[in-house]
A and B are shown apart, each in its own frame.
Chain A
Amino acid sequence: MDRREFIRRSVGGSIVAGSAFALGDYGRLLAATPSPKPNAYDLVAVKGGEPDDMFDSAIEALGGIGAFVKKGQKVLVKPNIGWDVTPERGGNTHPKLVSRLVQHCLNAGAKEVYVFDHTCDNWIKTYKNSGVEKAAKDAGAKVVSGESESYYHEVDLPKGKRLTKAKVHELLLSADVFINAPILKHHSSSRVTIGLKNSMGMVWDRGYWHRNDLHQCIADFGTYRKPDLTVVDAYYVMKQNGPRGVSLSDVLTMKSQIVATDPVAADAAAAKIYGVEPRDIPHIAYAEQMGLGKTALETLNIKRIKL
């Protein structure tokens, strides 16, 4: 590795935890400096690597996490930790990805990185068995419960059609940066679940969504706060019996990842990887109609990486 390569990789944030220490403030300084964007990509798609390595490549192509996370900021990383299953079952965001995301944020000088989900199965078990709690904590994040109604506060959604009010977890209200880190998988309710659907894990009363046109409510909630970055984990992809899955045979190892600032585009690309037309998924189509982003991938500047 020559010097130029070294600096480039530091800026890209492709640093393992150990060398991050060695670099110290120098690395952070570089990471926090607005990087010139020679090819400002709208979306990065990666395949063929491990979840953490794929994220390193993707974020590097987007100019490093420093383009999204500034020094001293409070960051919320919202993975899917909904189910009491192990990582290979593809029910939850891969712990390696969560870990690397947290490391990048902290390297960029984030004051605090928080991780939580309002889980479906018992939260203590999902946090533990998904491997996400340990991975996030080891990387330096604060892992918080989403299991008490007292964490949720009511907000208005003036642009919502069916969902006009929701009780939202206080971390989403207080975070400076919101990174949505869903997993791509089959879903019996919403057909597929990606980023827009993953945001459902930040509200208290999900029954209301189910009673009042689930797809519209998912799109409505997207109007509340656009994620600064969406990182779709498509390493283990559950193709049937989602979102919980019944056995390992539901899972296809696709080793892919989508990173984008446009939440609708991220979902559209992930849907394509899954094998469905984005506009056939009602909540993605509604979100586009409501102006939350684009599904027309051909109009976007996409960086494609194969590792």
Chain B
Amino acid sequence: MKFEHLKFVRVGVSLLFFVLTAIIFLDFSNLVPPAFAGGVLYLQFVPSMLKFVTLLSIGVAGFLVVLVLTILFGRIYCSTICPLGTFQDIIGFISRRVRKKKIYRVTPPHNLLRYSLLGATAVALLLGNGLLLNLLDPFSNFGRFCTNLFRPVLLGVNNAGAWLTETAGLYWLYRVDVKNIGMEALVFPLLMLTLVGWLAYRRGRLYCNTVCPVGALLSLISRYSLVRIAIDEGDCKGCGLCEKVCKSECIDRKLKTVDFDRCVGCFNCFDVCPRDGMTFLTPWNRGKFTVRPLPSARRPAVKRTDQVQVPADERRRQIIFGPLLALAAWQGVPQREKKQIVSTKASTVPELRTSAVSPPGSRSVEHFTSTCTACHLCVSACPTRVLAPALLQYGVFGILQPTLEYRSGFCNYDCVICGEVCPTGAILPLPLEEKKLVQLGIAKFVKENCIVETEGTDCGACSEHCPTKAVNMVPYKGKLVIPEMKPDYCIGCGACEHACPTKPYKAIYVDGNPVHKPARKPEAKQIDQKVDYKEDFPF
């Protein structure tokens, strides 16, 4: 049977998912409607699974579709829907053109490593610790590449384009500053990009078959798939072309076997087979083909002379990089502001934060940190750039999960986009009017740091920006006015903190509510003044 068109279809579908997913993450102008993003990302395995657990709604059960696909046809998720998979294929494509000599060769599986990582990830998750999942999940890793690494590059290109067109008097584009991605947050995505990129360049889909927990889980399931790729001995002439194009390194031309639980369903082998050697084996057509079973322990014959050994240091690297990253990221609080000459006295009282602030709709820090995989889609979508990857604000286990970072922005009063785009349910959608009454934290006023107190001049930047007037200016010495907090009305948006000009410590800052609380509705006091348009001017 001929199936050479399958590869073509797979490439088309995978590029479609890849391009759409990338656009969703790179869209810096909020052009993509959240509903569209939700549709495209519906089938992403880990986010969908977490959202399903949170909402228990069949409407978010994209991962079940993936499971059904896997039990039917094997790991085709890995070669179509997974954006990191396609990313590796693109690197592999380049690699095959650059390094003409090298081709893929069958290698033994790293079952101990991959199933250990899967087990550790699962156990940690069940114990409520998602760090391992967050660090290894392919979708989230791809999201972090886009948001933290590719997006700044795109902005650079955009800004250069804007500058060029502006010199011609055209203002079609606008320049965008990178605000919410601190250098520290780049360390992990960069390490991961290097690892995944290097593995893909040298060894095809080795990441998917050694590190990726989704790959490992689907591997387990694919052992029981109904339709399996196999070599039909009757038609195979042993030319070995299939092995040379197998980026999972799971086809053994000598033994004429396909280690199907490592197969990512790319169909490259069907494409190259000059005869009908590659076939789909089902419970109903077994009799028609002669297919050799895999050797025991699912390993191709060991000690083969032409076999490529996995360097031991490669495996070690994968185990070591985790702790290394934590060390690398341990540089303290983000310092994103540029140095400035301060003419006034420096503020003296440090901010005392007891809790990080989680996004509106996340209900509590606990719900958020246990459900967020740090894919950074909200970081990318947030129009005010207040959402930024955390370092240690949520503790070591919450590394990279987004938090409200008021140095880079503040939460827009009339915006709920983070909840609309969040694919995991860590941030749940909130109707706008409800969101305006959710208190993420409470602003604390530190009079000792306030300009009105230290300089004796008017300021009021905090009250100016406050959307609910929870910070109000009240009479102070002489004609001065000074901020006064009405905490019940505070929603923790951080507009006050963002605007507060004192340095190095803010005179007003938001301390997070570990569990979000309801805020009081702002009072609407009518102006008691009539206007007579016929009346004379007051001058």
| Residue interface bits A168-207, CB-to-B below 8 A is 1, else 0 | 0000000000000000000111110000000000000111
A interface, by DSSP: helix, strand, loop or mixed? Answer: mixed
Q: Does B98 contact A (CB under 8 A)?
A: no
Interface centre among A145, A151, A207, A306 (most CB of B within 10 A): A207
Tell whether, in the assembled complex, residue B531 and residue A272 are in contact, meaning their CB atoms are under 8 Å apart: no
Asked if A190 meets B458 with Cβ closer than 8 Å, knowing A112-B169, A121-B412, A212-B343, the reply is yes
| A210: contacting residue among B451, B468, B472, CB under 8 A | B451
Tell whether, in the assembled complex, residue B177 and residue A149 are in contact, meaning their CB atoms are under 8 Å apart: yes
Interface centre among A148, A253, A255 (most CB of B within 10 A): A148
| B527: contacting residue among A121, A147, A239, CB under 8 A | A239
Q: Does A51 contact B (CB under 8 A)?
A: no
Question: Which residues of chain A from 2 to 38 have a CB within 8 Å of any chain B CB?
Answer: none
CB neighbours (8 Å) of A154 from chain B are none
CB neighbours (8 Å) of A112 from chain B are 169
CB neighbours (8 Å) of A254 from chain B are 531
Q: How big is chain B's contact interface, by range?
A: 35 or more
Q: Does A40 contact B (CB under 8 A)?
A: no
A138 to chain B, nearest CB (A): 15
Tell whether, in the assembled complex, residue B539 and residue A272 are in contact, meaning their CB atoms are under 8 Å apart: yes
CB neighbours (8 Å) of B335 from chain A are none
Bound-state CA distance A246–B495 (Å) is 14
A49 to chain B, nearest CB (A): 9
Tell whether, in the assembled complex, residue B537 and residue A47 are in contact, meaning their CB atoms are under 8 Å apart: yes
From B36-44, B141-149, B518-526, give the one contacting chain A: B518-526
Tell whether, in the assembled complex, residue B458 and residue A282 are in contact, meaning their CB atoms are under 8 Å apart: yes
| B539: contacting residue among A45, A244, A249, CB under 8 A | A45
Q: Does B384 contact A (CB under 8 A)?
A: yes
Bound-state CA distance A304–B536 (Å) is 9
Q: Does B284 contact A (CB under 8 A)?
A: no
Tell whether, in the assembled complex, residue B383 and residue A124 are in contact, meaning their CB atoms are under 8 Å apart: yes
Tell whether, in the assembled complex, residue B539 and residue A297 are in contact, meaning their CB atoms are under 8 Å apart: yes
B interface, by DSSP: helix, strand, loop or mixed? Answer: loop
Tell whether, in the assembled complex, residue B344 and residue A212 are in contact, meaning their CB atoms are under 8 Å apart: yes
Q: Does A215 contact B (CB under 8 A)?
A: yes
| Interface residue count on the A side (C-beta < 8 Å) | 65
Tell whether, in the assembled complex, residue A45 and residue B537 are in contact, meaning their CB atoms are under 8 Å apart: yes
Bound-state CA distance A131–B538 (Å) is 30
Tell whether, in the assembled complex, residue A84 and residue B413 are in contact, meaning their CB atoms are under 8 Å apart: yes
| Residue interface bits B388-429, CB-to-A below 8 A is 1, else 0 | 000000000000000000000000111100000000000000
| Residue interface bits A95-108, CB-to-B below 8 A is 1, else 0 | 00000000000000
Bound-state CA distance A270–B454 (Å) is 32
Tell whether, in the assembled complex, residue A252 and residue B539 are in contact, meaning their CB atoms are under 8 Å apart: no
Asked if A246 meets B522 with Cβ closer than 8 Å, knowing A84-B414, A214-B459, the reply is yes
CB neighbours (8 Å) of A151 from chain B are 175
Tell whether, in the assembled complex, residue B463 and residue A189 are in contact, meaning their CB atoms are under 8 Å apart: yes
13 A–B contact pairs at CB < 8 A?
A: A148-B175, A187-B460, A188-B464, A189-B458, A189-B459, A212-B455, A214-B460, A241-B469, A244-B464, A244-B466, A249-B524, A249-B526, A306-B534
* Residues of B bordering A, CB below 8 Å: 29-30, 159, 163, 169, 171, 174-177, 340, 342-344, 383-384, 412-415, 451, 455, 457-461, 463-469, 472-473, 479, 481, 499, 501-503, 522-527, 529, 531, 533-534, 536-539
* Residues of A bordering B, CB below 8 Å: 45, 47-48, 84, 112, 120-122, 124-125, 129, 142-145, 147-151, 162, 187-191, 205-216, 239-244, 246-255, 268-269, 272-273, 275, 282, 297-298, 302, 304, 306
